[in-house]
Structures are given as structure tokens and as C-alpha cells.
Amino acid sequence: MDIKDLEIKKLKKEISVSSIKQSAFILLFIAEVIFLSALFINFFDLKNPFAGELSKEKIALLHLDEPITTAYVEHMIKSIEEIKKDAHYKALLVDISSPGGSPTAAQEFTQYIKDLNKTIPVTMYVNSMAASGAYYIASAIKPLYANKNAIVGSIGVIMPHYNINELAQKVGIKEDTITAGKFKQPFSLFKELTPKNKEYIQKSLLKPVYKNFIEDVAKNRGIAVDKLKKFAEGKVFVANMPQIKGILVDKITNLYKLKENLKERFPDAKIITIAKKTKPKDLFNIFFNESLQEILKQTFSPR
């Protein structure tokens, strides 16, 4: 092979390498244009032929299925605040299965949901139970949907008290609490409540919270307090009972039907579950719920 052939072969090789580099550059350029276009279109909420899931509408599904505590409500609000940053979320479906809990936490989340409904449509559904504080929350949005066998109601306020005096005597435990102020310690685990202390707790703690509870529910449901009162004596009801229709529940349905209805409104939407379960609570915190803890804290803390 002479020098001329070698030069021709070398030239062909250089041309081939150059062509490969040029093709690779063009492919990389096209890929970058597609990627940047996808980000741009998704950012401005436009129809994006490249982004796939990025441009799809979404429906948030929130399973409210734990006792209502301040920590749990903060967890749910934080999860909702995250989806509010994504303009593709078009609706929120709240699926309730909770026995209730703290009236303070319930009121906080109720008001949050009512305000949220002004910017994004919220649908409330009672799956298995919305009792006490959970019903407080469920009442936030009308119409209220429920499974026909769901338990609703338990509108009332409770403060458990246990007298372990006899047990304490057997094991040699005595209480020796020092207080200043006649009602600083209205109750104790080591003795029965006196009539005066019972009256004080009823008047200063339970009745005011109960009044707030029924007034808020009546306002949320759009009915008079007097009309609600006979259903607000701590009783629970099965959701399809005729006497509570339009009072505690509006429509009987199923979760899958509500999902279908939302999909009809937003045909391209994908249902996304938000607010995953929090860490399991120990038995003490479940038994002595946050409502009691708050009352204890307010009653026994320094003024």
C-alpha cells in the first residue's frame, strides 16, 4: 500500500469520526431541546407533547384515618400545602375513617379545609366513621357524602376520670400534692370528684367547648342550633338513617363513585394519595387522647 492509499484511508477515517461526532452532537442538542421544552411547558401549565405525566391533571386523595391530634392535623396540612404548589392538582377528596380526638385540632383543620375550598374544590366522604372531632371536620364541606353503613355523630365533649384510690392503698401509694388556689387541682386519680369540682369542670371546660362544637357544626351544615341539638347529645347514627338526612349527612354513596364523578369533571386527572400514615402511637397516647392532655396541661400549668 503506497503513501497515497494511506492518506485516503486516513481521510476516510477522519470523515467517519467527524460524522459520528456531528450526529452525536445533533442528538444531544435535540434531547436538550425536548427536555427544556418539557420543563417550560409544564411550568406554564400548557399541553406538553413530551412531558407525559408532567402535564396531567391530578386529584389529591387524603385518607383521614387516625385519631385527631395536633400533630396529625399539622401533618395533613403540611401535605396539602405541598400539593398547592403544583398547579396540576385540581381537586381534593377527603376520605374519613376516624373516631375523633382533640376539639382544638379538629377546629383548626375544619377552618383550614373551609378556606382551602375557596381555591380548590374539596369533597368530604365518610367511609367507616366520622365521630366527635372527626365529624367536626366532616361538617366543614357540603354536601357531605357517606357510606350507608358509616357511623357519624358523637357530637359531645368528654373528659375521662379514674379513681385508683383503692388500688393505691393496696400498694402503699399516697398523693401529697401541694397547690395554691381553690380549684388548682379540680380532680385527682386518688379521690372522687367533689360536687363543686364537677360543677367547675362542667361550667369552665366542657360546656364552653361543647357550645363551640355545636355552633360550628350547625353553621357548617347550614341549620339552626336548636335543630341540631337533638342530634348532638353524644349519640352516634348509621349514615343512611332517615332522621339524619340533611342534618348530619346529605348523600349516600361509595368512594369509587366519588372518584368516578371527579374523573368525569377532570377526564385526564390521575388520583394521587397524599399524607401517608404517621408513626404508630403508643397505647397510652391513644387511650388518654390529646383532648384530655390539653385539659390537664391547662388545668395544672402555672398561671
The residue behind cell 398561671 is 303
Q: Please give the single-letter amino acid code of residue 282.
A: D
1-12 pLDDT, tens digit each: 555 555 555 555
Taking only the tens of pLDDT, the chain with its 303 residues reads 555 555 555 555 555 555 655 665 566 666 565 655 555 545 444 444 333 444 489 999 999 999 999 999 999 999 999 999 999 999 999 999 999 999 999 999 999 999 999 999 999 999 999 999 999 999 999 999 999 999 999 887 766 666 666 666 677 777 656 666 665 666 566 566 677 766 766 776 778 888 999 999 999 999 999 999 999 888 999 999 999 999 999 999 999 999 999 999 999 899 999 976 655 454 445 444 444 454 444 443 433
Q: Which three cell numbers stand for residue 239?
A: 349514615
> Is there a contact between 90 and 120 (Cβ–Cβ < 8 Å)?
yes
Residue 136 CA: distances (Å) to CA of 21, 207, 214, 233: 67, 16, 9, 14
Architecture of domain 57-300: Alpha-Beta Complex (3.90)
The residue behind cell 342530634 is 231
268-288 pLDDT, tens digit each: 899 999 976 655 454 445 444
Residue 250 CA: distances (Å) to CA of 121, 148, 278: 17, 11, 30
Residue 59 CA: distances (Å) to CA of 89, 90, 91, 93: 6, 6, 5, 7
Would you name the residues annotated as active-site residues? 132, 184
Q: What is the pTM of this model?
A: 0.70
| Terminal alpha carbon distance of the chain | 104
Quick one: which of 142, 133, 141, 155 has its CA closest to 292?
Answer: 133
Beta bridge partners of 101: 68
